[in-house]
Structure 1
Amino acid sequence: MSDKTRGGQFIVKETKCEDVFTPEDFNEEQLMMRDMVKEFVNKELWPNKDRFEKKDFAFTVECMRKAAELGLLGIAVPEAYGGMGMGFVNTVLVCDYISGATGSFSSAFGAHTGIGTLPITLYGTEEQKQKYVPKLASGEWFGAYCLTEPDAGSDANSGKTKAVLSEDGKHYNITGGKMWITNAGFCSLFIVFARIEDDKNITGFIVENDPKNGITLGEEEHKLGIRASSTRQVFFSDTKIPIENMLSERGNGFKIAMNALNVGRIKLAAACLDAQRRVISGSVKYANERVQFKTPISQFGAIRYKLAEMSASCYAGESATYRAAKDIEDRIKVREAEGASDQEAELKGIEEFAIECSILKVAVSEDIQNCADEGIQIYGGMGFSEDTPMESAWRDARIARIYEGTNEINRMLSVGMLIKKAFKGHVDLLGPATKVQEELLGIPSFETPDYSELFAEEKEMIGKLKKTFLMVAGGAVQKYGPDLDSHQQLLMAAADILIEIYMAESSILRTEKLAKSVGEDKVQEQIAMAKIYLYKAVDVVTQKGKESVISFAQGDEQRMMLMGLRRFTKYTNMPNIIDLRNIITKKLVAENKYCF
């Protein structure tokens, strides 16, 4: 199996720009799909933002039915069960563009098509899929996912909801309470996780929503954002579930939950992208129209700084999300070619890139929050008003750092999963980490490199940042071994290094590929965004690298590592960041929107 398709390999190998998929590579079908989704959002959702903000739950359901009529609820569902059976990139693309107008609809859509439907398509028996998936794909039924409990959030496997087998062995009685259940107010079906007897792991069940079967709902939660997304508590009291509605095998629920969340994480990243584009476009338009001191504020350096930085982070998010989506799609095809079933191929394809899914979830959810925050600042006092779209964008963005696993959990997961892959021999961290140790003890080269090619220095810098991660991760594993899990601040610092490398590299590879296709002169703004993102990434790696090394190394070892860190984060030719920002903003202001 090719290394090209292995998750986590990016940290120990150099990726060629020809080997990454970018938004510029969308085929005709994907472009048509994108335009159809944008038209739906612009016609049905964007003009009615106020209805979502006023908690019009019925309108959310109405829009979900309209999305179903377009086939959008069945993009990822196999054709055999009434779906469109499209590839993973198409699935991500729809999640991206359908999420631009409001987090309320985005949450309802994501919960239904992802964690509400996918567990059945990925783990269900043929009978379960035939019975339920066509109804979910068509929008006849809506799905919800019941995992979280008052005492079981990030520690999802600690849930206390019980499933007790009846005396005749024909059904289970489920009793317990779930909270923060998206779509609870209008769903027809729940994916419920409960514990049988004293099993170590929870078990998944398909539960039809029937109030006569011991199911009651709490009141709608009053939330900071995503206000028209139905969020309720769900209570089960001796709810009878036929034994044939067990999902997968007994005790397999935790695995189902985690794999469903892996898919949800990359889709959540995608769901932040068009929201970010719209925030940037709105900010640019306002900055062009708002005149102070007889000058549009888009001409002021303080505003241009913000617009350029917002755009660079959005561009990097797009680059990394579609890179990972295509890697997952390719991996699924490899598995299928080896004879795996559709279910097994998709499961293993997504699981392979769980590290990248966690990276994307953290990076893009934080970028949309920062972007919306700057959007409010550009609008000034008006940004704080409900009359402009910025304050709702900021509120809706806030949840993205919490659901699908908090960003803190995902940071620790990304590094933890990578180290586990190394122990399993799926990613060779030890060899490259040892080489970095040897390099630290050697004499550095003082030759002046040839940086005549586009991104030559930037790609060398990415390579050096990877050495920084290997130095930090290798040193931490050596110091703490299996106890590394208990050093959470160190893990989170290492995760930040890992995240910045993946995002910066994705941005550079996308731009290099684009420049080779259309010419450097036509992508000066993209080149500027990629360079800005890397520049900022180097700052993060410097700070987090220093924090990490000081936490576990002392004496000569610490001095050697800190010297190595300085070497690995040093530019030969420091980019003029202010000039780069002005290149980006000139284009934004002229186009009056995010135009990349």
Structure 2
Amino acid sequence: MSNLPKGGSFLFSQTNPQDIFTPEDFSLEHKMIYRTAAGFVTDKVLTQMDELEAKKEGLIRELLEAAGELGLNGADISDEYGGMEMDKISTTIIAECMGRSGSFAMTQGGQTGIGSMPIVMFGTHEQKKKYLPGIASGKKVGAYALTEPGAGSDALSAKTRAELSSDGKYYVLNGTKQFITNSAMGDIFIVYAKIDGDKFTAFIVDGNSEGLTTGAEEKKMGIKGSSTRSVILEDVKVPAQNLLYEIGKGHVVAFNILNLGRYKLAANSVGNAKYALELAATYANERKQFGTPIAEFGLIKEKLATMAIKIYVTESMVYRTGGLLENMMNSLDTSGEDGGQVAAKGIEEYALECSMNKVFATEALAYAVDEGVQIHGGYGFSAEYTIERLYRDARIYRIFEGTNEINRTIIPVTLMRREAKGDLPLIEQITKLHEKIAGGNILREGEEGLVQAAKDIFLLTMGAGIQKYGKNLPKHQEIIGSLADLAIQAFAMESAWLRAQKAVVNQGEANARLKLNMAMAYINSTIGILEYTARETLTALAEGEQLTYLLENLKKITHFSIRNTVALRQEIAFAISKVGKYIV
């Protein structure tokens, strides 16, 4: 583990392009898994989407079992418990492919992620043996009951209570959970409750337990095919052996599971956004106005290109992070009884990257479906066209697995905590930046220089925030949000550029041209936005001579020239229109 990069360390160091994982590195097995998962979604799910959206009785279970037969539900589960135990790239591929499946992605994600990973990582051998085979096969449906009506993002303020019986054989649970995916058909619920009113703890609760009932289906904007209900617990008796992990350590279970959940939701977003682009590009090629396919109009080209660029950047971030997670898993000894907890601790190292992926990917998806509707014109607003459903379904992504606002606050706060523990040299790097700036203007040459400029913009602004507010910086969410955006964009720009550079070396510049164009277009069109964000944030952090000093420093580290991004986008749009879908 000592040789692996620390989470967040990309801000302070250079990364060799050959050290990151990209989709171009898929093995033959990865490609086979991709074909299997994509084929399942195309053949089994999309062909029954109307029935799925109408909640046809028994269809969800039928699809889950079909996915189970292909091994798609057990990717994270050991073969000892009926799973396939695939690597993190394979699980990412499955999540990406499931992104195209609309509301089924939420059902299957609840099954394979938050509904089962608490048991995979924190369960005892007996708990795993009892519950995981059914989840892997799809014969049992898993659900995750954390959210409560009054708690929302503040999960630890939950009011659900658990009281130990006088004979110590079971806990009695009382409370209400809200917005619980898979609740209508849930066989296994991961429920969080406070023992004695204060010890936040996780439990495995059987769906047929006496006293466990569900409310009516929520009438949702999107993902209509998935079940979302409240779960009511009235004197539900849970065997003591179904307590998950340790008393009072429910937050450890919850937060570790959310890291993976956020990452997989980002992968879902990649698949969903690719589908939106495919629909938009196909329609733009077929739809004629004034005798010309609208794909040939400049503003439509710009939309198609920007959609493709955002997908490329997101895909680069997601698989780079997947490579980090896989390398982490390979460095750990997870053979013992506490192997799941060891794995969870390892994944936690990249909690910051998981949050970055979640925010960027879900907002890239939002852009893709929105412009997808726009390209369809009035037809995009019609339920007869698939893009209308994608638009509605995508809205929940920015809320699931911790809102994007919550995830933004996590990023700078995590960096500050790791600096305080001596894990990251945040203050040291801020000091070094000021010393470098003192030497005069720093000329940024090429995209590599602009990527470094993005990192320096973040460090300069973060330093100003720490100087003004110190440990109280997290209380100022407008500042924290801007700092998070600067850090996210630095990771996004670097991931896109490293992937393109790796492709140039491995495939040749001609074959990597489209990747290069996408990376260059994104970096050059984003750097100015980061400069403005920093200027606005610094103005909120300082005044007078101090502000003048900071703005002069900002100017010194953003001394750059940019490329013709209009020409780059035109070339990208041509490539996308030619094949009618995302291509790199």
What TM-score range do you get, normalising by the shorter chain?
over 0.9
CA displacement at 1:250 relative to structure 2:
0.4
- The residue type equivalent to 2:179 in the other structure is W
Distance 1:348 1:571 in 2: 41
What corresponds to 2:348 in structure 1? 351
Distance 2:460 2:339 in 1: 39
Partner secondary structure for residue 537 of structure 1: helix
What corresponds to 1:208 in structure 2? 206
- Name which of 437, 440, 443 aligns with 2:437: 440
Aligned residue runs from structure 1 range 266-277, under 5 A: 266-277=263-274
- Verify: 1:153 aligned to 2:141, yes or no: no
- Name which of 252, 258, 263 aligns with 2:260: 263
Distance 1:70 1:357 in 2: 27
- Check 1:295–1:136 CA distance in 2 against 1; reply closer, same or farther (3 A cut): same
- Check 1:536–1:338 CA distance in 2 against 1; reply closer, same or farther (3 A cut): farther
Aligned residue runs from structure 1 range 574-593, under 5 A: 574-593=562-581
- Check 1:293–1:127 CA distance in 2 against 1; reply closer, same or farther (3 A cut): same
Distance 2:438 2:544 in 1: 15
Aligned residue runs from structure 1 range 354-433, under 5 A: 354-433=351-430
- The residue type equivalent to 2:294 in the other structure is I
- Name which of 537, 542, 556 aligns with 1:553: 542
- Check 1:421–1:486 CA distance in 2 against 1; reply closer, same or farther (3 A cut): same
CA offsets, 1:338-395, max 9 Å, x none?
9895313321221000000000000000111110000000000111101111110011
Instruction: Please tell me whether the aligned partners of residues 5 and 330 of structure 1 are also in contact (alpha carbons under 8 angstroms).
Output: no
Bigger Cα displacement from structure 2, 164-173 vs 528-537: 528-537
Distance 2:529 2:352 in 1: 20
- The residue type equivalent to 2:502 in the other structure is K
Distance 1:39 1:166 in 2: 50
CA displacement at 1:537 relative to structure 2:
2.4
Distance 1:241 1:170 in 2: 9
What corresponds to 1:305 in structure 2? 302
Instruction: Please tell me whether the aligned partners of residues 57 and 230 of structure 1 are also in contact (alpha carbons under 8 angstroms).
Output: no
What corresponds to 1:141 in structure 2? 140
- Verify: 1:70 aligned to 2:70, yes or no: yes
Instruction: Please tell me whether the aligned partners of residues 447 and 524 of structure 2 are also in contact (alpha carbons under 8 angstroms).
Output: no
Instruction: Please tell me whether the aligned partners of residues 61 and 138 of structure 2 are also in contact (alpha carbons under 8 angstroms).
Output: no
TM-score, normalised relative to structure 1: 0.96
- Check 1:566–1:34 CA distance in 2 against 1; reply closer, same or farther (3 A cut): same
Bigger Cα displacement from structure 2, 41-50 vs 54-63: 54-63
Instruction: Please tell me whether the aligned partners of residues 52 and 60 of structure 1 are also in contact (alpha carbons under 8 angstroms).
Output: yes
CA displacement at 1:536 relative to structure 2:
3.0
CA offsets, 1:399-430, max 9 Å, x none?
00001000000000011111111111111111
Distance 1:382 1:57 in 2: 30
What corresponds to 1:526 in structure 2? 515
- The residue type equivalent to 2:429 in the other structure is P
Bigger Cα displacement from structure 2, 21-30 vs 341-350: 341-350
Instruction: Please tell me whether the aligned partners of residues 75 and 84 of structure 2 are also in contact (alpha carbons under 8 angstroms).
Output: yes
- The residue type equivalent to 1:99 in the other structure is G
Instruction: Please tell me whether the aligned partners of residues 440 and 556 of structure 2 are also in contact (alpha carbons under 8 angstroms).
Output: no
What corresponds to 1:59 in structure 2? 59
Instruction: Please tell me whether the aligned partners of residues 332 and 348 of structure 1 are also in contact (alpha carbons under 8 angstroms).
Output: no
Unaligned runs of 5+ in 2: none
Instruction: Please tell me whether the aligned partners of residues 57 and 228 of structure 1 are also in contact (alpha carbons under 8 angstroms).
Output: no
- The residue type equivalent to 1:402 in the other structure is I
What corresponds to 1:33 in structure 2? 33
What corresponds to 2:80 in structure 1? 80
CA displacement at 1:565 relative to structure 2:
1.9
- The residue type equivalent to 1:126 in the other structure is H
CA displacement at 1:54 relative to structure 2:
2.7
Distance 1:467 1:19 in 2: 22
What corresponds to 1:454 in structure 2? none
CA displacement at 1:445 relative to structure 2:
5.2
- The residue type equivalent to 2:75 in the other structure is I
- The residue type equivalent to 1:534 in the other structure is I
Partner secondary structure for residue 151 of structure 1: coil
Partner secondary structure for residue 4 of structure 2: helix
Distance 1:69 1:445 in 2: 58
What corresponds to 1:316 in structure 2? 313
- The residue type equivalent to 2:233 in the other structure is F
Partner secondary structure for residue 442 of structure 1: coil
- Verify: 1:509 aligned to 2:506, yes or no: no
What corresponds to 2:5 in structure 1? 5
Partner secondary structure for residue 524 of structure 2: helix
CA offsets, 1:129-148, max 9 Å, x none?
11111121111211000000
Distance 1:496 1:544 in 2: 9
Distance 1:363 1:31 in 2: 25
What corresponds to 2:448 in structure 1? 459
| Equivalences, count | 584
Distance 2:579 2:232 in 1: 52
Distance 2:430 2:356 in 1: 21
Distance 1:128 1:337 in 2: 17
What corresponds to 1:329 in structure 2? 326
Partner secondary structure for residue 257 of structure 2: helix
Distance 2:334 2:42 in 1: 40
Partner secondary structure for residue 203 of structure 2: strand
What corresponds to 1:15 in structure 2? 15
Partner secondary structure for residue 73 of structure 2: helix
Unaligned runs of 5+ in 1: 452-456
Distance 1:445 1:7 in 2: 27
What corresponds to 2:95 in structure 1? 95
Instruction: Please tell me whether the aligned partners of residues 5 and 331 of structure 1 are also in contact (alpha carbons under 8 angstroms).
Output: no
Partner secondary structure for residue 179 of structure 2: strand
CA displacement at 1:94 relative to structure 2:
0.5
Distance 1:463 1:93 in 2: 30
Aligned residue runs from structure 1 range 145-224, under 5 A: 145-199=144-198, 201-210=199-208, 213-224=210-221
Distance 1:586 1:478 in 2: 48
Distance 1:239 1:339 in 2: 33
- The residue type equivalent to 1:282 in the other structure is L
CA displacement at 1:538 relative to structure 2:
1.0
Partner secondary structure for residue 522 of structure 1: coil
What corresponds to 2:460 in structure 1? 471
- The residue type equivalent to 2:33 in the other structure is M
Partner secondary structure for residue 100 of structure 2: coil
Distance 2:555 2:379 in 1: 44
Distance 1:547 1:405 in 2: 27
What corresponds to 2:249 in structure 1? 252
- Check 1:187–1:445 CA distance in 2 against 1; reply closer, same or farther (3 A cut): closer
Distance 1:445 1:331 in 2: 36
Q: Percent identity?
A: 39
Distance 1:340 1:492 in 2: 40
Distance 1:339 1:491 in 2: 40
Partner secondary structure for residue 241 of structure 1: strand
Instruction: Please tell me whether the aligned partners of residues 81 and 133 of structure 2 are also in contact (alpha carbons under 8 angstroms).
Output: yes
Partner secondary structure for residue 5 of structure 1: coil
CA displacement at 1:553 relative to structure 2:
1.4
- Check 1:560–1:81 CA distance in 2 against 1; reply closer, same or farther (3 A cut): same
Distance 1:76 1:494 in 2: 34
TM-score, normalised relative to structure 2: 0.97
Partner secondary structure for residue 58 of structure 2: helix
- The residue type equivalent to 1:181 in the other structure is I
- Check 1:445–1:122 CA distance in 2 against 1; reply closer, same or farther (3 A cut): closer
